[in-house]
Chain A
Amino acid sequence: MLNWISQVVALTGFNLRTIPQRMGSAFASMVGIAGVVAVFVAVLSIGHGISRTMRQTGSADVALVLRAGADSEMTSILVRDDVKLIGEAPGVARADGVALVSPELFVVINLPKRSTGTDANVPFRGVEKPVLGVRSNVKIVDGRMFEWGKNEVIVGRGALIEFTGLERGKTIKIGQNEWTIAGVFESNGGLEESEIWTDAAVLQPAYHRGSSYQAALVRLASAGSYDEFKDALTTDPRLNVKVQRMTEYYAEQSRTLHLLITVLGTLVAGLMGLGALFGALNTMYTAVAGRAREIATLKALGFRSSPVVISIITESLLLATIGGTVGALLAWAAFDGYRAATLNWQSFSQVTFAFDVNTRLLVEGIVCSLLIGVIGGLFPAIRAARLPVSVALREG
């Protein structure tokens, strides 16, 4: 056994020492694998980033109330009386005697994107005073809050980055109305950062919404108050609403997108992976063919086939691991935290998010490269082991 291991070590050492003579093909194969892993990690980090954005937006002790039958804010409608009844339900948190219920309406406006100059959809949300108690991670980072009752807005940091003309102090003209940008806000990377906010009471007449809203966000006294709150609303004959935890709502909203990106990403990375696999196979087949006489000589001297096989796979693994690690680190350096925007498939407006290259993804990427390495070395190694020594010595 010891002898077997030392054979493996010795043969692997010989293999590695021949690499400089075939640096070109070894390098090409490493670059191929690095590329695959970089793409794999980068693409999947988009899915992770979007999930994280959605998670940051949700909070377990916040509930979302929509009209029964509505599957998103877009298709929901609530009236002022609904909001009042919701505020009276048990389990609602209060601050200074005011129920933390944030009735909101939501329109979609068009603004030019910085990247392309073409228009894209931006969510324009009307809110009332309790919003800051409910969406409590929203913080003004530049300027100030808009003034209630005025044509003023605050813009999310993501929207500011994504669209032109949203700097503090500028005005945006939408239809008949002009809005002044009073400040910029953040929400820990949550979905709100893709939006523009104003006073609901100003937005309603501008869009002929009367006194209607679309959804109400409710801060609960505690996460445990949810069932009580939900039962009270859904059994109240005066209301026709459905209640969801905000976390569930956003998880559902992002599911399609996450799935799409994961499937597409895996497909692209898979195809590239296949390419890299053929590259690795080619490298090792070439290496083995070029060294057929050497391998035959070693076997003639008494080296066994299995150490030959293992040593070739080890070499392939080593090349693949180097390539994979470089690729994963490149993706991490280039994309982690990189901000981008995508379409929210439910509201058809832009969601900005940051690529999220996490440790798990890096490990998955490197594991991919290991697989390519093993398979890329296995078949050439088997060929080398099978070739009869006497034949290889004649032909070499």
Chain B
Amino acid sequence: MSNDTLVRLGGVEKTFRRGSEEIHVLHELSLEIPNGEFLALMGPSGSGKSTLLNLIAGLDKPTRGTIEIGGERIDQMAGRALAGWRARHVGLVFQFYNLLPVLSAEKNVELPLLLTSLSNAERKRHVANALEIVGLSHRAKHTPRTLSGGEQQRVGIARAIVSDSTLVLADEPTGDLDRKTGDGILDLLQALNREHGKTIVMVTHDAHAAKRSNRVLYLLDGQLSTELAA
């Protein structure tokens, strides 16, 4: 079982300081995510879903506790090593896509590969492959401004998978999209999970979206539970 665990959080505390006030967002939180799972995180707004996702992504550090991913203790890594680790091991999908407006779709997708030692030709091949998977090969040369929201999110997803990381972290990936377009994105995430073996953690406040996952966890009062407390 433990060999199959990709993400392991133990006794994680996260406290923010705002002036003299302390905000306890996560409290004694533990979580195991097996390889190949599609996990949905739900919970009311402000409950700490993004905070938790950022911790798993190595974008932020826990106040206390351990975070182990693929056997590495990322809570102990220095910022510089963490940047390199992120580039190799996680793909991030954002609610508002966060594409660079001056770059074409394929250049946006190529960004994470600039951090690798891949040759120009290899990068091109990986980018074409990722765009193919998300179904946007015909939009490769378009800049984000000329793409619809759904297409932009597909570019975002292509960027998250282009360096072939096993872990994809998506923070409300359909939050900015209408139901129909959102469903397309969810289909895509599901396919990535089933056909490409990606482990996915998706934050959502939409029960309909959460149904696509293998498992739903609710974040409330800094703790995770399998049930939404009545």
Contact = CB atoms under 8 A, between A and B. Distances in A.
Contacts of A18: 101-102
B129 interface: no
A7 B114 contact: yes
B83 A297 contact: no
B128 interface: no
A297 B103 CA distance: 14
A305 B114 contact: no
Interface residue tally on B, bucketed by range: 20 to 34
A393 B114 contact: no
Given A293-B98, A294-B100, A393-B98, A302 B54 contact: no
A171 to B, nearest CB: 73
Contacts of A297: 94, 98, 100
Contact of A301 (B51, B101, B103, B111): B111
A90 B50 CA distance: 97
Main DSSP-derived SS at the A contact region = helix
Interface in B87-103: 87-88, 92, 94, 98, 100-103
A336 to B, nearest CB: 40
Nearest to A9: B114
A10 B60 CA distance: 25
A297 B105 CA distance: 15
Given A393-B98, A394-B50, A10 B80 contact: no
A315 to B, nearest CB: 13
A302 B87 contact: yes
Nearest to A16: B102
A304 B83 contact: yes
B92 to A, nearest CB: 6
Contacts of A388: 60
A290 to B, nearest CB: 11
A14 B92 contact: no
Contacts of B57: 300
B10 interface: no
B60 A390 contact: yes
A297 B59 CA distance: 11
Given A300-B86, A302-B115, A17 B92 contact: no
Contacts of A21: 101-102
A299 interface: yes
Interface in B13-70: 50-51, 54, 57, 59-60
A300 B60 CA distance: 10
Interface residues of A, number: 25
Centre residue among B86, B98, B159 by max chain A CB count within 10 A: B98
B83 A302 contact: yes
Given A7-B114, A388-B60, A300 B92 contact: yes
A301 to B, nearest CB: 5
A289 interface: no
B135 interface: no
A28 interface: no
Interface in A294-336: 294, 297-305
Given A10-B114, A302-B84, 12 more contacts: A7-B115, A17-B102, A293-B98, A294-B98, A300-B92, A301-B111, A301-B159, A303-B83, A304-B83, A305-B83, A389-B59, A390-B54
30 contacts: A3-B115, A6-B114, A7-B115, A14-B100, A17-B103, A21-B101, A294-B101, A297-B98, A300-B86, A300-B92, A300-B98, A301-B87, A301-B92, A301-B115, A301-B159, A302-B85, A302-B86, A302-B87, A302-B88, A302-B112, A304-B80, A304-B83, A305-B79, A388-B60, A389-B59, A390-B51, A390-B59, A390-B60, A393-B98, A396-B98
Interface of B: 50-51, 54, 57, 59-60, 79-80, 83-88, 92, 94, 98, 100-103, 111-112, 114-115, 117, 159
Interface of A: 3, 6-7, 10, 14, 17-18, 21, 293-294, 297-305, 388-390, 393-394, 396
For the complex of A and B, the 5 pairs showing the least CB-CB separation, nearest first, are A302-B87, A17-B102, A297-B98, A390-B60, A390-B54
